[in-house]
Amino acid sequence: MKKIGLIAVIFLLILTTAIIKNSAKKTEDKIFTSKENLRVLNSEFEKIKLEHDYLSSAEKLLEYQSQYFEDELIQKNIENIKIFKIQDKEKKIQNLKITKE
């Protein structure tokens, strides 16, 4: 009788250990997936934030220019900006068109 009770306790311990281990593995997988998704979102956030900071104002642009560039940045007239296109092995230079959508 003691042997059957001991075997039942050992079997029960093995079974509960397997269940706990399996649930812990699933939880670890969920945590890993969440961390990977968070890492990707943080990367995208940093890119968008940099783009916003860079393009948000002329003052910011001048501030970044003084921090990161040795040479002077020169303001260009927007009418002097051209678009260079290669289409069907034909090269074209067009004026920049600004439209509001």
Is 60 part of any domain? yes
Is 78 part of any domain? no
Is 21 part of any domain? yes
Which pLDDT does position 50 carry in this prediction?
81
Is 93 part of any domain? no
Which pLDDT does position 86 carry in this prediction?
84
User: How many structural domains comprise the chain?
Assistant: 1
Is 38 part of any domain? yes
Domain of residue 6 covers 2-73
- Structure confidence by residue, pLDDT tens digits, 53-83: 767 777 777 777 777 777 766 777 777 888 8
Is 82 part of any domain? no
Q: What is the pTM of this model?
A: 0.45
Q: Is the dihedral of CA 37, 39, 40, 45 positive or negative?
A: positive
Is 15 part of any domain? yes
Is 18 part of any domain? yes
- Structure confidence by residue, pLDDT tens digits, 22-42: 999 999 999 999 999 999 999
